[in-house]
């Protein structure tokens, strides 16, 4: 591994501080960090250089159970980078920011989102608050504060219609947990796997018996010389 420099450290700190970062943003920020700290512009192709820095950082942090993961945004298909925890078989349980009953609640919300009928992969925020108030014996105000905290901490995202969905970070971090717990669509389980990219689908479309991200469906049709079928079942909530 090449020398671990301030550029690595600042880059890692920046990525950790974001729930996720789009590729174009990270590339831009990387060039700024590089120029500010080294006093010169990147001397190679910036993307190549960024990838080298990320590889260095990943080999440095992976023994400690962390990773900078690459994952496509399910709606736009754009590449994102996410700092995730990779250690252990129960990442949720190891999280020390929450009490055990709160951690059980997080699991319950995740289960309910996965099990939402008609592939909605989402829950009304108000319903979640109500359920938490009941199960944890909290006031509605306290329950609402907890839900906001879970969203701020990056477990969930909220749609324009106030529906809670799994965040890109949760899907990346808990991929194995989700498939172990709910099974994958390749084995008639609840976690849907994209026919094209083989990643989890919580936002996309179902064509016949296959699941796709929207962009992946276009690619699949092009690759297989299929006329895109306008008749499909939506996966995930509207108005994301
Ligand atoms: Zn896909």
Q: pLDDT (tens digit, 9 = 90+) per residue, 130-142? A: 999 999 999 999 9
| Among the four given CATH numbers 3.40.50.1000, 1.10.10.10, 3.40.50.720, 3.60.20.10, the one describing domain 91-172 | 1.10.10.10
Report the sign of the C-alpha dihedral through residues 171, 206, 183, 111, in that order.
positive
Q: pLDDT (tens digit, 9 = 90+) per residue, 51-107? A: 999 999 999 999 999 999 999 999 999 999 999 998 755 667 667 788 889 989 999
CB under 8 Å, gap of 24 or more: what pairs does 51-57 form?
52/2, 53/7, 53/8, 53/11, 54/11, 54/81, 56/1, 56/2, 56/4, 56/8, 57/8, 57/11, 57/12
Asked if the interface predicted TM-score (ipTM) of this complex is over 0.90, the answer is yes
CA 201 to ligand 1 center in whole angstroms: 7
**Does the pLDDT of residue 49 top 90, yes or no?**
yes
| pLDDT value for 42 | 79
Higher pLDDT: 42 or 113? It is 113
CA 213 to ligand 1 center in whole angstroms: 4
CA 72 to ligand 1 center in whole angstroms: 8
CA 196 to ligand 1 center in whole angstroms: 5
Q: Which CATH number is 6-85 given? A: 3.90.1150.220
| pLDDT value for 96 | 76
CA 7 to ligand 1 center in whole angstroms: 33
Neighbours of ion ligand 1 (CB under 5 A): 194, 196-197, 213, 216
Mean pLDDT, rounded, of the chain: 93
């Amino acid at each position: 591994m090449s020398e671990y420099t301030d550029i690595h450290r600042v880059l890692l700190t920046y990525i950790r501080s974001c729930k996720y970062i789009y590729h174009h943003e990270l590339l831009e920020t990387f060039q700024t960090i590089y120029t500010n700290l080294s006093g010169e512009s990147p001397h190679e192709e910036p993307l190549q250089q960024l990838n080298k820095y990320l590889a260095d950082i990943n080999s440095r942090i992976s023994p400690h159970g962390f990773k900078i993961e690459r994952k496509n945004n399910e709606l736009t298909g754009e590449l994102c980078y996410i700092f995730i925890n990779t250690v252990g078989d129960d990442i949720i349980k190891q999280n020390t920011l929450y009490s055990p009953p709160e951690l059980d609640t997080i699991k319950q919300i995740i289960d309910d989102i996965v099990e939402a009928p008609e592939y909605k992969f989402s829950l009304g925020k108000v319903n979640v608050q109500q359920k938490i108030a009941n199960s944890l014996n909290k006031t509605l105000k306290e329950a609402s504060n907890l839900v906001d905290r879970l969203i701020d901490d990056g477990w969930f995202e909220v749609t324009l219609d106030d529906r809670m969905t799994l965040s890109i970070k949760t899907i990346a971090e808990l991929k194995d947990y989700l498939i172990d717990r709910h099974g994958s669509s390749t084995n008639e389980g609840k976690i849907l796997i994209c026919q094209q990219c083989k990643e989890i689908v919580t936002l996309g479309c179902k064509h016949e018996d296959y699941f796709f991200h929207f962009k992946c469906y276009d690619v699949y049709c092009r690759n297989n010389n299929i006329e895109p079928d306008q008749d499909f079942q939506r996966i995930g909530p509207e108005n994301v």
